[in-house]
Amino acid sequence: MHPNYKTNILYDKTILIDRFSTISRLFCIKKCISLDSSCQFFEFTSSKICTIFSSFNKENFLWENEIHLREKKLPRIHFLNGSFVERSQLLSSVSFNLSRNGINLIAPFVFENSNRTTTLDLSFNNLTLIYSNSFYGMINLKTLNLRFNQISQLESDAFKELPSLADLQLGYNSLRYLNGNIFDNLQSLQEINLEFNQIESIERYTFKNLNKLWKISLNNNFLKLLEPIFYNLSAFRILDVSSNQIIFIHNDTFKTFDNLKDILISENEILEINSETFKGASGLERLFINSNKIKKIDEKFTQNVANLIHLDISKNNLSLIETKIFNNLTELQTLNLDFCNLKEINLNTLAKLKYLFLRNNFINFFSQNLGSLLELRLTSNPLGNLTYPLITSPNSALTALGISYCQLKYIDFDVLRNYPNLKFLNIAWNPLNLSNDTFNGFKSLMKVFLKADDFNRFRILYPNITFEIS
């Protein structure tokens, strides 16, 4: 090959396709031809070794080597498993499915004429590395699916030439690190999915200046810290970092994201929520911090998330929650405090609360002014006897009540009859002796869960109520 070619057709990376022994250069040429356009260069040495290249690093090129340029590019795209697609297909296809083809390499510029393609599916292949210019020319690509490969490395400008990309699926790969510039220039990006990788570290402000990006999924990785990796994302709505190993959330992580609606950070190792953990996320509506190791929540933390509608703190190591924590949550409708080791709780300020879950705690008395509450689950709390109103508000909206496994020896059913909208009642697995008139006088009761010993009796006595064994 002539040295004048150096700046015209050599690339930044050397990509070796095949290497083998052969008796003559002719066989090397035939092999190159059989590989179609995947073979751009070949070398035949005096020791009769043939090497096939898809691209060659211009910095490392040694002109004394017998490197030959394959000048004629045949109209096929060839993959290492022996399959191929016609270049004419790439030119004409709007949606292109290469899933489950055993592909383990995408050569640079292989899609350079695919400017009509909007969807490319490369899932369930054997890719390990995405090179720069792998998707060069795909200026109208909107959806790129790379899920279920073995990708461990993305070159820093792997997606640089994809100005229309809206949906990037990188889940179920082997990525450990994200470079700070990897998503630069993707101004059309709306959703990125990186779930089920092995990501331990993400450079500061990796997700930046992407004004259409609304969802980032980083769940099921190995992150230990949640630092300010987001910047200037005006459309950002949903963040999922559940099932990592996060111990600490930096106070500036969410400081400019008042449009963020959902944060899922469950199943991590968080020990404490301080007053500024969610500073800046003033528009947050749903927060999931369940299944962590939280022992302390600062009473001022809700000042930054006063618009919450749904809050899940279940399965943490709390034993006490300060009453002031809930003073700011005037819009809260769903609260989950299951498995929190709570002995008492005061929720009287939550005027709009509709769904309350307090299962598997140590509460022995519960009586609250929660007139809007529709569903109350107190299963597996040591209530003992129930002779007082659980909901003190007149005209209670309560429709479902779960008080199974509550060690109840006695229930004053007149208390429950005062809930005119009560439709579903679970009193199973309590040491109760129920009389035949137990369910007389209930205005709306439709279904009751009770112990097996009482099932047949009440099914006959009250045919308009459905009884089930729990």
pLDDT digits (tens, 9 = 90+) for 277-287: 999 999 999 99
Alpha-carbon span 362 to 380, nearest angstrom: 8
pLDDT band at 52 (very low <50, low <70, confident <90, very high): confident
Q: Name residue 193's beta-bridge partners.
A: 169, 217
Quick one: pLDDT band at residue 12, thresholds 50, 70, 90? low
pLDDT at 380: 98
Domains and CATH numbers, the chain: 3-74 (3.50.4), 76-245 (3.80.10.10), 364-470 (3.80.10.10)
> Do residues 282 and 255 lie in contact, with contact meaning Cβ atoms separated by under 8 Å?
no
Question: What mean pLDDT comes out for the span 327-331?
Answer: 95
What is the number of alpha carbons within 13 Å of residue 13 lying toward its C-beta? 17
For residue 24, the model assigns a pLDDT of: 73
Q: Which residue has the tokens 């709007």?
A: 94
Structure tokens at 73: 């590019």
What is the average pLDDT score of the chain? 89
Percent of the chain surpassing pLDDT 90:
72
- Count CB-CB contacts under 10 A for residue 137: 18
Q: Is the pLDDT of residue 84 over 70?
A: no
Tokens of 259: 């449009």
Q: CB of 369 within 8 A of CB of 392?
A: yes
Residue 460: how many CB atoms within 10 A of its CB?
9
Q: Each residue of 286-318: pLDDT tens digit?
A: 999 999 999 999 999 999 999 999 999 999 999
Strands 41-44 and 67-69: antiparallel
pLDDT digits (tens, 9 = 90+) for 405-428: 999 999 999 999 999 999 999 999
337-373: pLDDT as tens digits: 999 999 999 999 999 999 999 999 999 999 999 999 9
DSSP 87-122: HHHHHH-SEEE-TTS------TTTTTT-TT--EEE-
pLDDT in tens, 452-469: 999 999 999 999 999 999
Percent of the chain with pLDDT over 70: 89
**For 96-100, 148-152, 231-235, 441-445, which range has the lowest pLDDT when averaged over its residues?**
96-100
pLDDT of residue 431: 96
Q: In this predicted structure, which of 30-39, 193-202, 416-425, 438-447 has the lowest mean pLDDT?
A: 30-39
| Residue 437, number of CB atoms within 10 A of its CB | 9
Q: Which residues contact 276 (CB under 8 A, 6 or more apart)?
A: 251, 304
| Position 100 pLDDT exceeds 60 | yes
Phi, then psi, of 453 in degrees rounded to 5: -65, -25
* pLDDT tens readout for residues 369-409: 999 999 999 999 999 999 999 999 988 999 999 999 999 99
pLDDT given at position 349: 94
Q: What is the C-alpha to C-alpha distance for residues 432 and 280, in angstroms, rounded to an integer? A: 51
Q: Which residue has the tokens 């080597």?
A: 65
| Cα–Cα distance for residue pair 27/20, rounded to 1 Å | 10
Whole-model pTM: value is 0.82
How far is CA 263 from each of CA 201, 271, 284, rounded to the nearest angstrom?
A: 19, 17, 8
pLDDT band at 322 (very low <50, low <70, confident <90, very high): confident
10 has a pLDDT exceeding 80:
no
Angle at 102 between CA 11 and CA 113, to 5 degrees: 45
pLDDT of 79 reads 47
- Per residue in 194-228, pLDDT (tens digit) is 999 999 999 999 999 999 999 999 999 999 999 99
Any bridge partners for residue 357, and if so which? 336, 377
Separation CA 74–CA 77 (nearest Å): 8
Does pLDDT of 80 surpass 50? Answer: no
pLDDT of residue 55: 74
d(CA 430, CA 169): 50
- When pLDDT is averaged across residues 241-247 and rounded to a whole number, the result is 98
Length of the chain in terms of residues written: 470
C-alpha span between 351 and 369 (Å, rounded): 8
For residue 221, report the phi and psi dihedrals to the nearest 5 degrees: -125, -160
- Residue 393, class by beta-carbon neighbours within 10 Å (0-12 exposed, 13-18 middle, 19+ buried)? middle
> How far is 45 from 24, CA to CA, in rounded Å?
10
Dihedral sign, Cα of residue 133, residue 134, residue 138, residue 141: negative
pLDDT value, residue 18:
85
Which residue's entry shows tokens 């009770």? Answer: 450
Inter-residue contact 396 to 423 (CB < 8 Å): no
The C-alpha atoms of residue 63 and residue 74 are separated, in whole angstroms, by 26
